[in-house]
Amino acid sequence: MMKLELESITKFYGKYPALQNVSAVLTEGVYGLLGPNGAGKTTLINILIGILPASGGVIHLDGENTVQMGGRYFDQIGYMPQYPQFYANFTVQEFLDYMCQVKGVANAKESIDAALVFVNLEENRSKRIGALSGGMRQRLGIAQAILNDPKLLVLDEPTAGLDPGERIRFRNLISRLAKGRIILLATHIVSDVEYIAKEILLLRRGTLVMQGTPRELEQSIQGKVWEVSANEADMALMVDTYCVSNIKQQDGSYLLRIVDDGKPLRGARPVPPNLDDLFLHTFFQPSEGQS
């Protein structure tokens, strides 16, 4: 069984600790790397794909130190950056030919054909990249990442700029890709990963604060999520006092969803937690914004 082990990964930018003792074990399937902007997701990804040296710690793929593996490790990686840079004048085919050269993919023609079929772009191979829609470009980004049939596929904020339909197509594509690989998908959007991730890793200020299945993560705040009705004045007060994860207006009053360790108010009813509640509970404090 495939296994990627991160052991006490640490990264300093000067004196600033961007990552502190991050340890995790990943096996086949989709992993969501979830954290607000600045949590260290991109730093962790850059270390994982081998383009940024860690300040401390080691990574093993199937028992082998990835730094010592060198080129053999790179051969196992597919990567889609947060802001893929494409040459707008290249056609889809030209770009993938070029990426096969860069990656040293042996059977370029077959690999390109298979990748284009997989992401459903085979009818667009002669189109210029500049003429593709946002969703098509993103699928091209995935196509280039899978040319070498990677064991480890890393996607950094892959749904930015997609419309709702494209997001759903994307999720389905990722689920189909997960067979026989480890996929790590970094995002700050809970819904990108809540349905497709086998496990979610929560990164907060450079520290991995939780790893578990979506169910396990939800259960960690069981009994801490409440619903309460309020008028406008009380609603405004509660927003300043509590972690409010949702507000629904109904017939002149408001229904608030509150995450709190104890029952916030007399009329509050406990409700089943979801991942948005957990995200809020982990990352935000009332009236303070991002913690």
Ligand X SMILES: Nc1ncnc2c1ncn2[C@@H]1O[C@H](COP(=O)(O)OP(=O)(O)OP(=O)(O)O)[C@@H](O)[C@H]1O
- The residues of the shown chain that bind ligand X, judged by CB under 6 A, are 13, 16, 18, 35, 37-43, 188
Nearer residue to ligand X within complex by CB, 35 or 264 = 35
Give the nearest distance from C-beta 203 to ligand X in angstroms. 7
Nearer residue to ligand X within complex by CB, 35 or 273 = 35
Among the listed residues 152, 3, 23, the one whose alpha carbon sits nearest the alpha carbon of residue 76: 152
Nearer residue to ligand X within complex by CB, 50 or 118 = 50
Give the nearest distance from C-beta 206 to ligand X in angstroms. 7
Single-letter residue type at 170: F
Give the nearest distance from C-beta 26 to ligand X in angstroms. 18
| CA contacts within 13 A on the Cβ side of 200 | 28
Give the nearest distance from C-beta 79 to ligand X in angstroms. 14
Give the nearest distance from C-beta 49 to ligand X in angstroms. 13
Give the nearest distance from C-beta 278 to ligand X in angstroms. 18
Nearer residue to ligand X within complex by CB, 146 or 202 = 202
Cα gap 137→132, rounded to integer Å: 6
Relative to beta strand 269-270, strand 29-34 is unpaired
Nearer residue to ligand X within complex by CB, 143 or 186 = 186
Single-letter residue type at 161: G
Cα gap 52→19, rounded to integer Å: 12
Cα gap 109→104, rounded to integer Å: 12
Nearer residue to ligand X within complex by CB, 47 or 196 = 47
Nearer residue to ligand X within complex by CB, 42 or 124 = 42
Give the nearest distance from C-beta 188 to ligand X in angstroms. 6
